[in-house]
Amino acid sequence: MSSSAAGSAVTHRSGRTDDTAGLTSTVRIAQAKRAMLWGLAVLWLIDAGLQFQPTMFTFDFVSGVMQPSIASDPSWLGAISTWTFGWVSPHIAQWNWVFACTQLFIALWLFYGLIRRNNRAIVVGLVVSIFWGGSVWVFGEGTSGVFTGNGTLLTGGPGAVLLYVFIAAFYLLPDRWWQLSARFCFPRDALALLFLYGGLAQVLTPGYWGARGLPVLIEGQAAMAPPWMTATLTPGVTVTQANPVLWNAVFAILLFAIAILLFGPHPKTLGYWILGTTLVAIWYWGQALGGVFNSMGTDPNTPPLFVLLAIPGWLVWQANRQETTDQSLGPP
């Protein structure tokens, strides 16, 4: 064998060659992208179905969904919000057809591209997803409190549609951005950065440390939840009211722990355990499952999207575990 050939096929203790490791990395990137894309298509389809609910074609959609979402707009967004209401309110039924059909178009186009393996169709669906998600985030959600200091992960910050944008943009990035074993990889580390943002927002916002913080947020979800959920949401209000400082500190610590444990090329098993537990708590007590059972929910909210964003790191975690196992077994 020539020296150049030998250099391109260096054998590791695990029995793999560099060429094989490179192929495995490429396959892993493809797996991550495809899994995230399927999840994105399913969520857009669910969103479209929720947008077709009868109440969404009435003024209740404006007063019950749009107004609360942008009530805390920063001043520079106030004019945009006023303009949005002026356009949407008089013709809410017609506009809701546009909203619902746009989301259905995105979902169906992504499904078509995935099933037919048509990359051009996938790109079209993702580009529309990015523009639509960005528009909804600004015009319909008032940036979800990101610029007001109220963007808590508990109730849906930094905004579900913003996460749709992130996932779509990640898929469109070239593979050089997907070096999952690198010290920093944005698609892999975005989840940790989002939880770092959540922890900082929870700590730096004075209102979350008082009785008008977490208890009020949970109480708001309980008030809008169906009766079968209220009985289990109300105790969350009572518990957090008894010691709001303690519970806000616990919540912030969990968010920081997730950010630390899942950042980088060696995500920790404990991080995924904490992530799963925290997402369940957020989705149920903080978001009442996205409000999808009260006829006013427009999407399942952020936890399912956080699960999609966890996929790249999860595949790295699996690969690291396999490599550790191979090394412990020694050469064949």
292 contacts: CB under 8 Å, gap ≥ 6: 46, 50, 299, 300
Residues 6+ apart with CB under 8 A from 321: none
pTM: predicted TM-score of the whole model, two decimal places = 0.90
pLDDT in tens, 161-216: 999 999 999 999 998 999 998 999 999 999 999 999 999 999 999 999 998 899 99
Structure tokens given for 35: 């899994």
| pLDDT, position 326 | 74
Q: Which amino acid is at 194?
A: L
Report the amino acid identity of residue 199: G
* Residue 93, CA distances (Å) to 89, 118, 180, 222 in order: 9, 34, 45, 28
Burial class of residue 40 in the structure, from the number of CB atoms within 10 Å of its CB (0-12 exposed, 13-18 middle, 19+ buried): buried
What is the per-residue pLDDT across 22-74, written as a single tens digit (0 to 9) for each? 546 788 899 999 999 999 999 999 999 999 999 999 988 877 777 666 655 56
- pLDDT at position 297, please? 87
**Which residues have CB under 8 Å from 271's CB, separation 6+?**
257, 258, 260, 261, 262
- Please give the Cα distance from 226 to 131 (Å, whole number): 33
- Provide the Cα torsion 244, 247, 249, 251; round to 10°: -130
Res. 295: pLDDT tops 90: no
Note the pLDDT of residue 2.
Answer: 38
CA distances from 261 to 29, 78, 198, 271, 317 (A): 21, 38, 15, 5, 11
